[in-house]
């Protein structure tokens, strides 16, 4: 099992930073989800991240940095749109895909000519980045294709056997992965909806293209049709569809958007938000999926959430999760 260090203890950051500097791998909190981090400039360290996650080499990692000023070391082609987004949305849940500088190893970007860069808003992530003094390549700290972790315990449960250190900074406040926005071409493209809403991006740089969430963009494997999936088979209800009665022969869970009456026929019921708030729903989504997954249910029925703001990213994750669980 991994050692879980309370990030509030000052020596914890030093120990984690020393591990990164020595070419090791550390799980750490960000405001989106927990990341599995290694020195982004050390190809051998990065290779371990792929091995631990069993992540295919075609899936690029996001590189985390501690300050906006560092971007030009790792990326080129930083235009007006990129500057506005970095100034207004960083630190925060936005990854910018830009042409890469040669210093970033090919393994990090899966051989692509672009790199995904992000300055996270979590104080523990920023302290770790500053103490390590190097950019940190970090995907979500979960086995490839599975639900992302939003607590240190989620990481321990799924990868604890394979890693040494987990920095515990409490539950992740956003709870969804970053929004990935490609600025490497003329048109801005949101490759993956996430913790920063598309509406907020458009308010800053004008219209962006949003590929249909069923398209698998080979440039962005986070957009694979089956991803972010719990083990339990998941049935996603259509927007507005009434909650069905579960089959009495099956153990079925219900994950509704807001509280619903008479869900007693279900083995377990949870609501994502007491007030029907998509922000609160986003924060709770992955933790709820982890809880349901521990129950060994036959099926999980999930109610659709309104597809606005962060609701778009929630529905994106649920559709991909359902793609694996479908009969
Ligand atoms: P995660 O596994 O949550 O860290 O997400 C990483 C995701 O970011 C990848 O699966 C891609 O969807 C996206 N990404 C990272 N780097 C790039 C890049 N250079 N080009 C396109 N997408 C990227
Ligand atoms: Mg991931």
Determine the Cα–Cα distance for residues 267 and 260; give it in Å rounded to an integer.
Answer: 15
Whole-number Å distance, alpha carbon 192 to ligand 2 midpoint, is 11
The reply to whether 200 and 239 lie within a common domain is: no
Give the residue whose CA is nearest to atom 4 of ligand 1: 139
Residue 261's CATH number:
3.40.50.11030
184 ligand 1 Cβ < 6 A: no
Are 174 and 291 contained in the same domain?
no
Q: How many Å lie between the centroid of ligand 2 and the Cα of residue 203?
A: 27
| Cα(19) to centroid(ligand 2), Å | 22
Q: Same domain for 249 and 175?
A: no
267 touches 326 (CB < 8 A): no
Q: What pLDDT is recorded for position 64? A: 98
Ligand 1 centroid to Cα of residue 62, in Å, is: 6
Same domain, 187 and 269: no
- The answer on 244 and 195 residing in a single domain is no
Is 278 a member of any domain? Answer: yes
Q: Are residues 190 and 252 in the same domain?
A: no
Q: What is the pLDDT of residue 323?
A: 87
Is residue 91 within 8 A of residue 85, CB to CB? The reply is no
Check residue 326 and give its pLDDT.
Answer: 37
| Tens-level pLDDT at each residue, the chain (327 residues) | 999 999 999 899 999 999 999 999 999 999 999 999 999 999 999 999 999 999 999 999 999 999 999 999 999 999 999 999 999 999 999 999 999 999 999 999 999 999 999 999 999 999 999 999 999 999 999 999 999 999 999 999 999 999 999 999 999 999 999 999 999 989 999 999 999 999 999 999 999 999 865 555 555 555 556 667 888 999 999 999 999 999 899 999 999 999 998 788 999 999 999 999 999 999 999 999 999 999 999 999 999 999 999 999 999 999 999 986 433
Among 178, 211, 172, 224, CA closest to 197? 178
Give the CATH number for residue 113.
3.90.870.10
Is 195 in the same domain as 242? no
Our count of domains for the chain comes to: 2
DSSP classification of residue 65: -
Q: Find out whether the beta carbon of 109 lies less than 6 Å from any atom of ligand 1.
A: yes
- Is 183 within a domain? yes
Determine whether the shortest distance from the Cβ of 192 to ligand 1 is under 6 A: yes
- Residue ranges making up the domain that contains 129: 3-205
Give the pLDDT of residue 77.
Answer: 95
Tell which atom from ligand 1 comes closest to the C-alpha of 192.
12
- Calculate how far, in angstroms, residue 232's C-alpha sits from the geometric centre of ligand 1: 25
Full 3-state SS string of 138-193: CCECCCCCECCCCCHHHHHHHHCCCCCEEEECCCCCCCCCCEEEECCCCCCEEEEC
Q: Is 173 in the pocket of ligand 1 (CB under 6 A)?
A: no
Residue pair 139/220 in contact by the 8 Å Cβ criterion: no
Q: How far apart are CA 62 and CA 31, in angstroms?
A: 14
Contact status, residue 53 vs residue 36, Cβ threshold 8 Å? yes
If one residue of 60, 195, 223 were mutated to test the ligand 1 pocket, choosing by the most ligand atoms within 8 A of its CB, it would be 60
Supply 42's token pair: 């050390």
């Amino acid at each position: 099992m991994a050692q879980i260090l309370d990030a509030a203890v000052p020596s914890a950051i030093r120990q984690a930073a020393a591990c990164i500097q020595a070419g090791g791998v550390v799980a750490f909190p960000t405001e989106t989800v927990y990341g599995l981090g290694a020195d982004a400039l050390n190809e051998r360290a990065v290779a371990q991240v792929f091995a631990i996650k069993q992540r295919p080499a075609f899936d690029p990692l996001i590189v985390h940095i501690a300050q906006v000023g560092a971007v030009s070391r790792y990326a080129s082609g930083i235009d007006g749109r990129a500057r506005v987004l970095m100034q207004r949305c960083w630190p925060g849940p936005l990854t910018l895909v830009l042409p890469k500088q040669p210093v970033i190893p090919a393994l990090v970007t899966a051989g692509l000519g672009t790199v995904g860069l992000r300055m996270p808003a979590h104080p523990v992530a920023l302290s770790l980045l500053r103490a390590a003094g190097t950019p940190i390549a970090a995907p979500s700290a979960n086995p490839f294709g599975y639900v992302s972790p939003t607590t240190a315990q989620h990481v321990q449960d799924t990868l604890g056997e394979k890693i040494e250190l987990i920095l515990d900074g409490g539950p992740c406040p956003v709870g969804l992965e970053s929004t990935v926005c490609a600025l490497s071409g003329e048109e801005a493209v949101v490759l993956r909806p996430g913790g920063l809403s598309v509406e907020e991006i458009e308010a800053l740089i004008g219209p962006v293209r949003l590929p249909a969430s069923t398209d698998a963009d080979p440039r962005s494997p986070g957009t694979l049709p089956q991803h972010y999936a719990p083990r339990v088979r998941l049935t996603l209800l259509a927007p507005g569809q009434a909650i069905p009665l579960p089959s009495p022969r099956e153990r079925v869970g219900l994950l509704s958007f807001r509280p619903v009456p008479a869900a007693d026929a279900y083995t377990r019921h949870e609501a994502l938000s007491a007030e029907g708030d998509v922000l609160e729903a986003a924060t709770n989504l992955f933790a709820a999926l982890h809880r349901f997954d521990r129950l060994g249910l036959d099926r999980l029925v999930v109610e659709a959430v309104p597809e606005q703001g962060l609701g778009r990213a929630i529905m994106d994750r649920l559709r991909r999760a359902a793609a694996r669980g479908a009969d």
